[in-house]
Amino acid sequence: MLHIAVCDDEKDAIQIHKKITEDCLKQCKSAGKITAYTVSDHLLCDITEDGFFFDLILLDIEMPGCGGMELAEKIRPYLPNVKIIFITSHMEYAIDAFELSVFRYVPKNDINRRLPAAVWDAIRLLELEEGKTYTIQTSSRLERIPCKEIYYIERDGKNARITYAGGVSKVRKSLQQVYEELGTEEFIFTDRGCIVNLIHIMQVKNGMAVLKNGASLPISRSHLQDVKAQINDYWGTHI
């Protein structure tokens, strides 16, 4: 079951956003629990003090007290993998939202068209991330790494070196073998010697993919347009 929060200081907006989210869950045939907040500080308290967990948060930027930008920054250490959809009437916030690695930015003047697409994509991505693992098996060990925790995989001699949230592991296989075994669309080649997990890319800058863990990985010229296109498929359009 997906745990979703909707936070907006306007009650009418809460109802609209909640109804759109409910419809998307039905269309995706996904189970979900939606919790609504009209006070941002209450959401912040539930997460930071009471340990509430959310997979997805629909968050208004302009709110009394703790605004959406500040709230997103404060909850990141507690929910590092949460998907956040910002909803706002001010276009200039989109750049800051991008820097916060927010999943999607939705302008209020196009809410009925843009929000359903954003929620749908977030649900799809959450389901894609959930439960899949990559298994490394040798005569002496068996290791299962959650695919959503893998940042990138590099060629290391005759090995593939996997960097993930729990550390680094090596498997004596080619990158192509590992890529085929992963079998999920979020993993792409950024050059001949590196596979990157799209869900961890924060931005593409100066021919480099900047990841959530701080790593910067080169993208070859031949892969650059494909990388950008696939990022857009996952993030949609921020502005």
Domains of the chain: 2-129 (3.40.50.2300), 133-235 (2.40.50.1020)
Does this model's pTM top 0.95? My answer is: no
Q: How confident is the model at residue 68 (pLDDT cuts 50, 70, 90)?
A: confident
Q: Which helix (H) or strand (E) holds 152?
A: strand 150-156
* pLDDT tens track for 108-137: 888 999 999 999 988 887 876 666 778 887
Across 30-34, 120-124, 149-153, the highest mean pLDDT is recorded for: 149-153
Tell whether the model's pLDDT for residue 155 goes beyond 50: yes
Q: What per-residue confidence (pLDDT) applies to 172?
A: 92
Say what angle helices 11-28 and 111-129 make with each other, to 10 degrees. 50
What is the bridge-based pairing of β-strands 167-171 and 187-191? Answer: unpaired
Q: How confident is the model at residue 237 (pLDDT cuts 50, 70, 90)?
A: very low
Planar angle of CA 202, 208, 209, nearest 5 degrees:
30
Tell whether the model's pLDDT for residue 18 goes beyond 90: yes
Q: Determine the average pLDDT of the residues in 8-18.
A: 94
* pLDDT tens track for 205-227: 888 989 988 899 999 888 888 88
* 3-state secondary structure labels for all residues of 47-107: HHCCCCCCCEEEEECCCCCCCHHHHHHHHCCCCCCCEEEEEECCCCHHHHHHHCCCCEEEE
